[in-house]
């Protein structure tokens, strides 16, 4: 079964750090670009970062650029999101998602994890 | 950044009704548009890609159309399982995807 499972969310104080993980199974992880999307409580979806299949190129939304770092370990079939200098407005459900097409960057997302909740509050 | 505007934000409908949701892009995105369905507490589910292509396993009552800056998602006969929030997404820009604000379809 094709699956993505996020972990690492939790409660963190403003200015703190957190690392999210997304474990992939059921497909050739190293062949796909991967993305993080978040959803603030009661709000819409926000694309925040994409990493190419090889890990050679990264893309970030302005809202997280310079604070968040996306990475992957293809030997462990795992995607990461290192989040530093967290702010209250980073409070959201964080989803990892897989591009629909092998090797593509910039495509629809046909596989999503269940999400992990990040709460930034003192 | 390309802005995606969905309308309406909320739509009240009944089972069996035909429902149409609109998504407008701030500039042309050709056909690089996807539609997602999201139910409370769940991850989004891909319904359509490339504006009009139905994702595998999605019922044929869902259809998509449009190109350039204006797009529609149509549900031909609303079913109880279709009450949810729908989002559009542009992906013409490899490095910066954006989503619409969402349309909640309710009874």
Residue A107 and residue B91: Cβ atoms within 8 Å? yes
- Binning pLDDT at 50, 70 and 90, where does residue B93 land? confident
For B40-64, how does the pLDDT look when each residue is reduced to its tens digit (9 = 90+)?
999 999 999 999 999 999 999 999 9
Collect all residues of chain A within an 8 Å Cβ-Cβ radius of residue B97. Answer: 35, 47, 50, 106
Residue B96 and residue A95: Cβ atoms within 8 Å? no
Residue A112 and residue B97: Cβ atoms within 8 Å? no
Closest CA to A2 of A33, A24, A31: A24
Rounded to the nearest angstrom, the minimum Cα separation between B24 and chain A is: 16
For A68-85, how does the pLDDT look when each residue is reduced to its tens digit (9 = 90+)?
999 999 999 999 999 999
Collect all residues of chain A within an 8 Å Cβ-Cβ radius of residue B34. Answer: 108-109
3-state secondary structure of A31: helix
3-state secondary structure of A74: coil
Residue A45 and residue B102: Cβ atoms within 8 Å? yes
- Binning pLDDT at 50, 70 and 90, where does residue B67 land? very high
Q: Which two three-digit tokens encode residue B71? A: 């797009």
Percent helix, strand and coil across chain A, each to the nearest 5: 5, 50, 45
For A16-71, how does the pLDDT look when each residue is reduced to its tens digit (9 = 90+)?
999 999 999 999 999 999 999 999 999 999 999 999 998 889 999 999 999 999 99
Q: Which two three-digit tokens encode residue B61? A: 């009552």
pLDDT at A106: 82
- Residue pair B35/B64 in contact (Cβ under 8 Å)? The answer is yes
**Sheet hosting strand A18-25, strand order edge to edge:** A3-7, A18-25, A78-83, A68-73
Q: B10 phi and psi, to 5 degrees?
A: -135, 145
Residue A45 and residue B96: Cβ atoms within 8 Å? no
- Residue pair A44/B101 in contact (Cβ under 8 Å)? The answer is yes
Q: Which of A37, A108, A113 sits opposite B34 (nearest CB)?
A: A108
Q: Which two three-digit tokens encode residue B47? A: 């319904």
If you average pLDDT over residues A91-112, what whole number do you get?
93
pLDDT at B96: 87
Closest CA to A70 of A62, A78, A58: A58
Among chain A residues, CA nearest to B92: A106
- Residue pair A8/A22 in contact (Cβ under 8 Å)? The answer is no
């Amino acid at each position: 079964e094709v699956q993505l499972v996020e972990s690492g969310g939790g409660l963190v104080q403003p200015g703190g750090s957190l690392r999210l993980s997304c474990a992939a199974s059921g497909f050739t992880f190293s062949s796909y670009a991967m993305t993080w999307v978040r959803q603030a409580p009661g709000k819409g979806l926000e694309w925040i970062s994409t990493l190419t299949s090889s890990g050679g190129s990264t893309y970030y939304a302005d809202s997280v650029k310079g604070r968040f770092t996306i990475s992957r370990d293809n030997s462990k079939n795992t995607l990461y999101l290192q989040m530093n200098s967290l702010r209250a407005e980073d409070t959201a459900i964080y989803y990892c998602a897989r591009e629909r097409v092998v090797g593509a960057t910039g495509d629809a997302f046909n596989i999503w994890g269940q999400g992990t909740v990040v709460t930034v509050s003192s | 950044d390309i802005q995606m505007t969905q309308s309406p934000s909320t739509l009240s409908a009944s089972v069996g009704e035909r429902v149409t949701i609109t998504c407008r892009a701030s500039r042309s995105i050709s056909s690089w548009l996807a539609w997602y369905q999201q139910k409370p507490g769940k991850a989004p589910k891909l319904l359509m890609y490339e504006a009009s292509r139905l994702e595998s396993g999605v019922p044929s009552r869902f259809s998509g159309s449009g190109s350039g800056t204006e797009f529609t998602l149509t549900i031909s006969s609303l079913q109880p399982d279709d009450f949810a929030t729908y989002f559009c997404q542009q992906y013409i820009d490899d490095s910066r995807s954006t989503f619409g604000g969402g349309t909640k379809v309710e009874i």
